[in-house]
Structure 1
Amino acid sequence: MRGLLIVVTALVLILTDARCASLTRILVGFPPGQATDLIARLLAERLGPALGETVIVENRPGQGGSIALASLAQSPADGHTVVLAPLASLVVNPHLYKSIAYDTRRDFAPVALVADLPLLLVVNPSLPVNSVAELIAYAKANPEKLAHPSSGNGTLSHLGMEVFKQRAGITILHVPYRGSVPAMTDLMTGIVGVAMDTVAVTEPFIRGDKMRLIASAYGKRVAAFPDTPTVAEQGFAEVDLSAWLGIVASAATPKARVDRLGAAINKIIQSPEIVARFTALGAIPRSEGPADFGAFLASEDARWSAVVKASGLRIE
Structure 2
Amino acid sequence: MLKKMKQQPSVLDAHRRTLIRGAGGVALLSAVGHPVAQTKLSPLKIVCGYAAGGTVDQLSRQVASKMQLEYTHSVIVDNKPGALGQLAISQVKMQPTDGNTILASPMPLLSLFPHVYKSLPYDPVADFVILTAATRAPYAYAVGRMVPVSVRSVKDYWAWVKTDSKHATVAVAGVLPQLICLMMSKISGVEMVPAMYRGGQLAALDALAGNVPAMVASLGDIKPHLGEGKLRLLALASDNRNPSVPEVPTFAEQGISDMDVSAYTSFFVRAGTSSEIVERHSTALRAALAQKDVIDALGRLAMEVVPADPKESTEILKKDSEKWAAFVKRIGYAPT
TM normalised by structure 1 equals 0.78
Distance 1:185 1:225 in 2: 20
Residues 1:234 and 2:254 aligned together? yes
Q: Hey, what does 1:57 align to over in structure 2?
A: 77
| Structure 1 letter corresponding to 2:86 | S
Distance 2:281 2:202 in 1: 37
Q: Hey, what does 1:149 align to over in structure 2?
A: 170
Q: Hey, what does 1:287 align to over in structure 2?
A: 307
Count of residue pairs the alignment pairs up: 294
Structure 1 position 276, deviation (Å): 1.1
Residues 1:176 and 2:195 aligned together? yes
| Structure 2 letter corresponding to 1:123 | V
Q: Give 1 or 2: higher helix fraction.
A: 1
Distance 1:248 1:115 in 2: 13
Higher mean displacement: 105-114 or 225-234: 225-234
Residues 1:221 and 2:246 aligned together? no
Structure 1 position 270, deviation (Å): 1.9
Q: Deviations over 1:28-75 (max 9, x none)?
A: 123333332222121112113343554332233321221221122222
Higher mean displacement: 233-242 or 271-280: 233-242
Structure 1 position 144, deviation (Å): 4.4
**Structure 1 residues 55 and 181 mapped into 2: Cα distance closer, same or farther (>3 Å)?**
closer
| Structure 1 letter corresponding to 2:239 | G
Distance 2:193 2:253 in 1: 25
**Structure 1 residues 178 and 131 mapped into 2: Cα distance closer, same or farther (>3 Å)?**
closer
Indicate the structure (1 or 2) with the bigger Cα radius of gyration: 1
Quote the sequence identity (%).
Answer: 25
Residues 1:129 and 2:151 aligned together? yes
Distance 1:190 1:30 in 2: 23
Asked if the contact 1:64–1:88 (Cα under 8 Å) also holds between the matched residues in 2, the reply is: no
Q: Deviations over 1:212-260 (max 9, x none)?
A: 3222222321233112221233334532233531001111222222122
Q: Hey, what does 1:207 align to over in structure 2?
A: 227
Asked if the contact 1:24–1:81 (Cα under 8 Å) also holds between the matched residues in 2, the reply is: yes
| Structure 2 letter corresponding to 1:148 | T
Asked if the contact 1:149–1:183 (Cα under 8 Å) also holds between the matched residues in 2, the reply is: no
Higher mean displacement: 43-52 or 263-272: 43-52
| Structure 1 letter corresponding to 2:171 | S
Asked if the contact 1:147–1:173 (Cα under 8 Å) also holds between the matched residues in 2, the reply is: yes
Distance 1:258 1:89 in 2: 20
Residues 1:246 and 2:275 aligned together? no
Q: Hey, what does 1:16 align to over in structure 2?
A: none
Q: Hey, what does 1:38 align to over in structure 2?
A: 58
| Structure 1 letter corresponding to 2:260 | D
Distance 1:90 1:123 in 2: 29
Residues 1:259 and 2:259 aligned together? no
Asked if the contact 1:117–1:284 (Cα under 8 Å) also holds between the matched residues in 2, the reply is: yes
Higher mean displacement: 229-238 or 262-271: 229-238
**Structure 1 residues 314 and 35 mapped into 2: Cα distance closer, same or farther (>3 Å)?**
same
Match of 1:89, SS?
helix
**Structure 1 residues 189 and 20 mapped into 2: Cα distance closer, same or farther (>3 Å)?**
closer
* Aligned counterpart in structure 2 of residue 162 of structure 1, from 182, 188, 204: 182
Gaps of 5+ in 1: 1-18
